[in-house]
A and B are shown apart, each in its own frame.
Chain A
Amino acid sequence: MYAYDEIDRTLVNERVSEFRDQVKRRLSGELTEDEFKILRLQNGVYLQLHAYMFRVAIPYGTLASNQLRALAHVARKYDRGYGHFTTRQNIQFNWIKLAELPDALADLAEVGIHAMQTSGNNMRNVTSDQWTGVAPGEIEDPRIWSELIRQHTTLHPEFSFLPRKFKIAITASDHDRAAIKIHDIGLKLIKNEKGETGFEVLVGGGLGRTPFIGKTIKHFVHGRDILSYIEAILRVYNQYGRRDNIYKARIKILVHELGIEKFSREVEDEWQHIRNSSLQIDDEVIEDIRSRFTYPAYEKLPHMPDELRQAAADPGFEAWRKNSVAPHKVQGYSIVTVSLKPIGAPPGDATAEQMDALADLADKYSFGEIRVGHEQNLALPHVAKRDLPALWKALNRLGLATPNVNLITDIIACPGLDYCSLANARSIPIAQELTRRFSNHELANLIGRLHINISGCINACGHHHVGHIGILGVEKNGEEVYQITIGGRADESAALGNLIGPGVKFDEVADVIEDVVEAYLALRERPEELFIDTVKRLGVEPFKERVYATR
């Protein structure tokens, strides 16, 4: 975990007092809503259907137990007792009162949490792989770089009024859990032939109305140059990004309109001016940041402790272990994914009680650390294997041990029309119904890895384009209609899904998805061939034929 020092704390407190002043001026009428809107957005405050919504950043998905307790406290004291974890390592509260927001922010500031730039046309929360620092085979812990970039992009004087929002994601593993290819800038940490740390830089990915997979703009940018390179990209974007049309304002459109070659030349020209400036990061600075990350004091533990051997007789435990427990880089430890997708519940929601209890479990079993993934699940990153049976029992009691990670009921969904003022159709009830249809764990296991992503409008917060099965809700003649795509993926082989046929009504979505899954089970070559691979091998047509033949 990164520990704030006095400098970081001062900045967050200064931001809170600035926002307190802004809210005061707004409530007195000194600021109009038109003037205030951008100020509240810069602090993560949206207006949704029912109330203000408050989005809090969880930088690169790392939380300390006391921070999770503070989030629970906000849910309880200022909201309705629960929060919603998003696809970008944020948490949202749905019913917050504007007049109380400064107090909520002040409470969060005490544990080093803020809501800066979780909305608005600026640089958003820097996201990363939720397994950073613990995943076997990771090249290097990218959190040091994530933190450097977080600091550099916080209250940036030049880039706080960009043409549109701007998102950066970082990974240091071959398997991309951070979805870097659908970000404005994606960074893949690599080593060059000299063994020096740097990044492959991708640019122009994004979903929404016009989805693009990011393109590599530079194969290797040395770590010491990464801030100047990002700054060069942002400066080009700030000056040339379109401001005449909100739907064409993201950097992906600029990259697309200029072409990646011309865009990269512009960036290169700019970068040559600034790369040898004070933006260059020397080793001492990196070491300083690194020194403020605390690493657990792991014990020397056996690979297969007795506790684990004994618990293997319990089928409930075994089902969970096989599904939700992943290898850790340190022998005797595991990474445990905590499913926030219980059958029949809204994806990604957690109650204050669950958050508090999980914070306690993190203290007991995971060196006080919790992670948040873009799949809207949580993780305990350092669990000793001997503790797995006890942890499972505790999670089970909390409703946090559904063994469905990466399975068909591990659905990513945006809040949709139940909460969101932009939505055209509901997302959560679709997810709820699907989890009920596939609630049988054996069936879900038989189907295997399958990601369903649901968005309630074209803005694609549920990342439907990159779901193995994507569901997009639209409105047609006052009714909710859902378009279904297959073949998308968000990982290192990121791809956009293809439509399988005409849109279907709210009540028909689950039936159609069942048919898609049946088609897959019939079409797959062997049980190990994943849904996504069958679609890749056969294309959309055979699915379309089977699903729409009787419709």
Chain B
Amino acid sequence: MTSPLEQKKIKIAGPSVVTANRTWDGIVVYRTAANGWSAELSEAAIVRNSDEAKALLAESVADDVGAIGPYIAPVRIGEDGKVQPGNLREQIRRTGVTIGSPVQV
């Protein structure tokens, strides 16, 4: 749940991805291995050490027109190979608010 603003040092504890928000509409996106962005976490490039993370973040930052505010976020990889967000913040970004229907009339 660390704010990306505070994420200055790049050290990763496990598998991670780079995530950001798409510039023109703001939706949550993940950096892919093909130097692009995808709204699907399953298409994200997975990095497993600090050097890989640094490189992926650097190329993401460079694509300022594509997406903004990129940062490294932890993921969990299940036995079936499925990628899941690694913390509550990322879970919320992936699946939306936890408050049920936003407004109840």
Contacts and interface: CB of A to CB of B under 8 A. Distances in A.
A58 interface: no
Contacts of B88: 417, 478, 480
A354 B96 CA distance: 23
B26 interface: yes
B34 interface: no
Contacts of B104: 342, 344-345, 399
B23 A419 contact: no
Contact of B93 (A26, A50, A480): A50
Interface in B1-19: 1-5
B41 interface: no
A193 B5 CA distance: 52
A412 B44 CA distance: 38
A51 B21 contact: yes
A351 B103 CA distance: 7
Contact of A26 (B23, B69, B102): B23
Contacts of B33: none
Contact of B21 (A47, A349, A398, A475): A47
B103 A346 contact: yes
Contact of B68 (A33, A97, A351, A353): A33
B25 interface: yes
Query: Which secondary structure dominates chain B's binding surface?
Result: loop
Interface string B29-60: 00000000000000000000000000000000
B4 A418 contact: no
A47 B26 contact: yes
Contacts of B26: 47, 50-52, 95-98
Given A33-B68, A351-B105, A97 B1 contact: no
Contact of B87 (A344, A425, A478): A478
Contacts of A399: 104-105
Contacts of A254: none
Interface in B48-88: 64-65, 68-69, 87-88
Given A51-B25, A97-B25, A418 B105 contact: no
Interface in A62-94: 80, 82
Nearest to A33: B68
A429 B99 contact: yes
A349 B102 contact: yes
A11 interface: no
A28 B99 CA distance: 36
Nearest to B104: A345
A50 B27 contact: yes
Nearest to A431: B99
Given A342-B104, A399-B104, A475-B1, A49 B25 contact: no
A29 B67 CA distance: 11
A419 B98 CA distance: 10
A213 to B, nearest CB: 28
A350 interface: yes
A426 interface: yes
A424 interface: yes
A342 B68 CA distance: 36
A419 B97 contact: yes
Given A32-B64, A33-B64, A478-B1, A97 B24 contact: yes
Given A346-B102, A354-B105, A418-B98, A33 B92 contact: no
Contact of B92 (A27, A353, A418): A418
B27 A51 contact: yes
A99 interface: yes
A360 to B, nearest CB: 16
A97 B64 CA distance: 17
Contacts of A351: 103, 105
Contacts of B97: 50, 418-419, 428
A421 interface: yes
Given A27-B23, A33-B23, A478-B1, A49 B102 contact: no
Nearest to B90: A49
Nearest to B25: A97
A98 B24 contact: yes
Given A33-B64, A52-B26, A475-B1, A398 B102 contact: no
A398 B23 CA distance: 36
B29 to A, nearest CB: 11
B24 A418 contact: no
A422 interface: yes
A29 B1 CA distance: 30
B102 A80 contact: yes
A33 B68 CA distance: 7
A399 B105 CA distance: 6
B1 to A, nearest CB: 5
Interface string A95-113: 1111100000000000000
Contacts of B65: 27-29
Nearest to A415: B97
Given A32-B64, A52-B21, 19 more contacts: A26-B23, A28-B65, A33-B64, A47-B21, A50-B26, A50-B96, A51-B21, A80-B102, A82-B102, A97-B24, A97-B26, A344-B104, A349-B103, A353-B105, A417-B1, A418-B92, A429-B98, A478-B1, A478-B87
5 contacts: A47-B69, A49-B28, A50-B93, A52-B26, A478-B88
8 closest A-B pairs by CB:
A51-B26, A52-B26, A97-B25, A418-B97, A29-B65, A475-B1, A33-B68, A345-B104
Interface of B: 1-5, 21, 23-28, 64-65, 68-69, 87-89, 92-93, 96-100, 102-105
